Chains A and B, each alone.
Chain A
């Protein structure tokens, strides 16, 4: 049973066809559903996230899903600074790091779709003034935005 309805899939397929420009890799750190359950390591939303992203990635040739198991690929997760799963990293024309921690449901799903497009095009809708400021930052900034699905 797909998470995305046929109508949603068709809508997204069209949005991706019109607005994606260059390829984007969606890197997902998760828990493989085939894996033996280890007490204390059950990831409540990994199964849903895996399926949702597989469905999204299937809607465009420009999207590639790269799935890593947090325990099996622990070294890679460490390099990526991933401690919680599911964790999604977007790789395309982004200069900095764009991540989603937890299932991207509700309003976050819309944010994910918009970010996929921005990362694919390497452009955002920020004002020229904001963009200029951002190119002149001195120290690294780690911004965490805490949200709940609505």
Chain B
């Protein structure tokens, strides 16, 4: 759904049992597991608002750029 709403988002649903090398590379021991930009990862489902907040923390947000520290 996130990828439908934003051109910045690529969303892959990966059926990991078919690709053991991906399970190994991304250390998938439990599903669902989410990895964003190789930098943020978590296991289990999250509420929508929390998920979007994590996307925002990875991608940055236009109207808070530079002002979030002040």
- With A138-B59, A140-B59 known as contacts, the answer to whether A94 contacts B12 (CB < 8 A) is no
Give the chain A neighbours of B49 by CB distance below 8 A: 127, 129-130
Give the chain B neighbours of A137 by CB distance below 8 A: 6, 8-9, 55-56, 59-62
Per-residue CB contact flags for chain A residues 112-150 toward chain B (1 = under 8 Å, else 0) read 000100110011111101110111111111111111110
What's the least CB distance linking A120 to chain B, in Å?
10
User: Are A146 and B9 in contact, CB atoms less than 8 angstroms apart?
Assistant: no
Interface residues on A, range: 35 or more
User: Are B52 and A96 in contact, CB atoms less than 8 angstroms apart?
Assistant: no
The docked-state distance in angstroms from the alpha carbon of A8 to that of B22 is: 32
Q: Of A84, A96, A98, which contacts B8 at CB under 8 A? A: A96
- With A100-B13, A134-B5 known as contacts, the answer to whether A146 contacts B18 (CB < 8 A) is no
Q: What are the 6 A-B residue pairs with the smallest beta carbon separation, nearest first?
A: A102-B15, A96-B3, A138-B60, A96-B9, A137-B59, A134-B6
Beyond the given pairs A99-B10, A136-B61, A143-B34, 9 more chain A to chain B contacts, judged by CB atoms under 8 angstroms and listed by A's residue number, are A95-B3, A95-B4, A127-B48, A129-B49, A134-B8, A137-B55, A144-B12, A146-B31, A149-B17
